[in-house]
Structure 1
Amino acid sequence: MTDNELRWQLRQLPREMEPGRDLWPGIAARLQPPASPRRWPWLAGLALAACLCLAVGLALTLRPATPAADPVADLVRREAAAMTLEYEAALRELQSAPVPEPLQPALATLDASAGEIRAAMAEQPGSLHLLDQLKRTYSRRLALTQRAALG
């Protein structure tokens, strides 16, 4: 069949066709949601109360400590505090060991450095660099103290 024959046949088709019956009532019936029986009306209220309790609990748990709190600074501050507690506990365990006289200036220098780093962290609470410096200073101090204790 050629293009001209196909076009001729298309022109012979009617422009509009009316369906044999009205289709809208069947379509409308399928669009409406099925009616469901209301078995437990109190369950919706219970679910709403549970969601409200969850939202209030999350809001209280996730609220910032201060209105303008910086989450990074808060995290760095808590990490430094935890690291300092662990460091001090480790030093208490090694405190009974005698420290040789030549190592005492190095230990004093490391202690002073740790104090300066903590003071700088009070001024710049979100500084990850200072947190890393504090960690390295504590590690060096503990390693030197352990070496002195073990001889």
Structure 2
Amino acid sequence: MTKTNFDDALKQQLDTLPEEKHPERDLWRGVALALENEADTSTAKPGWRSGWAAMAASVALIAMVSWYSLQQPSGPTEPSAITGEALVQALSQQHEQQKQALLVEYTDTPALADNWQQQLDELDDAAAAIKAALAEDPDNPALLRMLQNVYQQQITLIERVHAPKWQRI
């Protein structure tokens, strides 16, 4: 059978079909029953699946709001909030003071490791690299956290080398 013969045969069969087809029974009764059941289930106590879905949606909303609030720069309404290079400078200055105070405190205490000064210098090099990256992007929260982490590692190193937990009372 060729394409034109097929198309002609299909058109002829379509022309023999009735214009309208009526349902064999009344469908409105089923539609009304479905609408009533839907109204009953919406007022009923939610099942465990919808409870979990609501809980998941709540957690997602809280996470989004928290993330969004952390990403917002502080506005002019907060005069005490410092950002950018001033924040890096303040963090560095505070860390140096704390590090020097610890070193003075532990001058008479012998170190438990020989290479702790080398480790401290390596952490200083890491802090310098992070500061160089912060000079390009001073408000980068990931870099600021990295800098704080390196500073905390230095403080922890000094404390553990000179006064480990097993020696403290």
* Alignment TM-score, normalising by the size of structure 2: 0.42
Q: Which has the larger radius of gyration?
A: 1
* Alignment TM-score, normalising by the size of structure 1: 0.47
